[in-house]
Amino acid sequence: MAEIMANVEVAPNIFRIKAAGSFAGRMGQFYMVRAWDKYPLLSRPLSIFDRDEAGIEFLYQVAGEGTKLISDLRPGDELQLEGPFGNGFPEVQASGRVALVGGGIGIAPLFYALRHYSSSDVYLGFSQEAYLAERFKAATTGMVLVNVGGIVLEQVDFHAYDTIIVCGPEPMLKAVQRKQLETGSSANVYVSLENRMACGIGACLVCSVKCKDKRRKACTDGPVFLAEEVVFG
């Protein structure tokens, strides 16, 4: 149990919650979060948005029942957190050119990635970007490009980077795979999947991902995969 320090609506339907305590976690990893006892049955996966000595932060969009219950929490209430889970983003050479690309609430794990890739370029495709864009700009020495209402992926030159990390809805991730093929880019392109999850620890197969060699689990083998590995539906 972790005590909530803040739970603020930063844009319509988008909340940032901070829970007090000492939490582990690498960039791109997630926690299974719940704010209820028995119902709904399952905890909900949320990516680490930021972390410091006081606590851990998540940025989340209210999508349904679970996230609505989380959004109703107030400072002093308690949040149940299990994690960190997942492989997280890869460590790359400091000299490499890195692009972080996020669509919609897929931008959530990218902020914490900037703690490591502090000179990377950031591409945000997000309709509620104002509050967040400033925070991203303060965290990188690279460029932050905000694309409102357009297709942010079109702005990314796949030949300009050694590593490209993309988080967003599945159509965006499919387009990433296509663009890598079409451009013949030699960059290492990674996608972070947001498959539905139940256990978060590799026990239930709900999060199964079809890859070129075999099926993998988004919760333990991922959520981060090389884009070229994944067979999208």
Ligand X SMILES: Cc1cc2nc3c(=O)[nH]c(=O)nc-3n(C[C@H](O)[C@H](O)[C@H](O)COP(=O)(O)OP(=O)(O)OC[C@H]3O[C@@H](n4cnc5c(N)ncnc54)[C@H](O)[C@@H]3O)c2cc1C
Decide whether 54 or 63 has the Cβ nearer to ligand X: 63
Q: What is the 3-state secondary structure (H, E, C) of 84-136?
A: EECCCCCCCCCCCCEEEEEEHHHHHHHHHHCCCCCCCEEEEECCCCHHHHHHH
Binding to ligand X by residue 108, rule CB under 6 A?
Answer: yes
Least Å distance, CB 207 to ligand FES, is: 3
160-199 footprint of ligand FES as x/- string (CB under 6 A)? -------------------------------------xxx
Decide whether 142 or 168 has the Cβ nearer to ligand X: 168
Binding to ligand X by residue 125, rule CB under 6 A?
Answer: no
With a CB cutoff of 8 Å and minimum separation 6, the contacts of 214 are none
Contact 152, 136 (CB under 8 A): no
* Contact pick of 205, 210, 215, 231 for ligand FES (by CB under 6 A): 205
Binding residue count for ligand FES, defined by CB under 6 A = 13
Question: For residue 164, what are the CA distances in angstroms to 34, 122, 128?
Answer: 31, 10, 23
- List residues binding ligand FES (CB under 6 A): 197-200, 202-207, 217-219
